[in-house]
Amino acid sequence: MNEREWFTEAFENKTAFSVKYSRKLYESKSAFQKIEVYETPVMGKVLSLDGCFMVTEKDSFVYHEMITHPATAMIKQPQSALVIGGGDGGAITELVKYPEFKKIILCEIDEGVISACREFFPEISSGLADPRVEVVCEDGAAYVKKFQQEFDIILVDSTDPVGPGKALYELDFYNSVKNALRSGGVANFQTESPFFMANVFADTVKNLRSVFGPQSATPYLCVIPSYPGALWSFTMCSTEPKDFSIASCGLSGECVSSLNYYNAQVHIAAFVLPNFVQKLIS
């Protein structure tokens, strides 16, 4: 494949996902990573961080809806939320659909990601303009330590466990997240691919269960075509045991109709794990 026409994410030099692009719209090097935006015929605009697909206009709705709405469905009348990572603003854009929220904080370490996404992905990042949203450019692992029993919901929209994202996979961080939740609060972590990152997935679930308890940390799945392996996982955690597979509250019918992936049936089905996934976490 001609490198001048194709953007390829190679995973561990063993497999790859490629997209043909028409032009590169943006490139910069922040203090933390290389930021690139491509225009492609099939995936729309694509955000790449250090050579890895992070956001595509084609399928980003799956990730952003599935990290946000299953967790929010666990809380009746949520008032405060913290998103760690997620500089594209997609999770924030989903959260602001709930009028109940009074305070929503985005903590993203790399201001360059926020700026690029506001410029090139205005629809995905539109929630950042909501007056209830505060944007903080700090290290999320250090920032969350400032809070005790502050948030109803914490979403950990992290990159892979390398570079600045590595601290978001450590036990100390998980304990800080738990301490920052109000009683009955919910934290949701993206936990990688059970196909291609089986060890990271299994170890993360194990560590989350050691912090939150085995009945208070449950993985679920969705399909994101542009991510390695396509089958992707999140792990939902709470300060108290919960049956996460049953939404205790819900979006309004008007809001659900505006979504492209998540609904009540998808919520239930997402927690039904294939046998190989169950074996990884047993």
- The catalytic residue positions are 157
Is 222 exposed, middle or buried (CB count within 10 Å of its CB: 0-12, 13-18, 19+)? buried
Q: At what angle do helices 198-212 and 171-180 cross, to 10 degrees?
A: 50
- Judging by DSSP bridges, how do beta strands 52-56 and 6-11 pair with one another? unpaired
- 255-260: list long-range contacts, CB under 8 Å, 24+ apart: 255/97, 255/98, 258/97, 259/61, 259/65, 259/69, 260/61, 260/62, 260/65
Q: How far apart are CA 196 and CA 188, in angstroms?
A: 21
Q: Are 94 and 86 in contact (CB under 8 A)?
A: no
Q: Are 267 and 247 in contact (CB under 8 A)?
A: yes
Q: How far apart are CA 54 and CA 32, in angstroms?
A: 15
Half-sphere exposure of 131 (CA within 13 A, CB side): 1
**DSSP label at residue 33:** -
3-state secondary structure 225-259: CCCCCCEEEEEEEECCCCCCCCCCCCCCHHHHHHC
